[in-house]
Structure 1
Amino acid sequence: MVVKFKCASAADSAREVAFRVGRLSTSVPSRLSSTASNWEQATASAAGFRLNKMLVATMQAERENRFWARHDALTSLPNRAGLAEAMNARRSGRAALLHLDLDGFKAVNATHGHETGDELLRAVADRLRGATRPNDVVARIGGDEFVILTDDLSPAALKAFSERLIAQISLSYLFSCSRVATISVSIGLGLTPEHGSDIAGLLAAADAALYRAKALGKSRCAFAPLSMQ
Structure 2
Amino acid sequence: MAAATNVTDTLPNYVRPPITNYSPSMWGDAFTSFSFDDKVQEKYAESIQELKHQVRSMLMTEGSTTIEKLILVDTIERLGVGYHFEQEIEDQLREIFRFQSEDKELQDNYDLFTTALQFRVLRQHRYSVSCYVFNKFKGADGKFEETLTSDVKGLLSLYEAANVRIHGEDILEDAVGFTADHLKRMVQQLEPPLQYQVKRALEQPLHRGVARVEARHYISVYGWTDHKMKYF
Instruction: Give the TM interval when normalised to the shorter protein.
Output: under 0.3
Structure with greater helix share of residues:
2
TM-score (norm 1): 0.22
Structure with greater strand share of residues:
1
TM-score (norm 2): 0.22
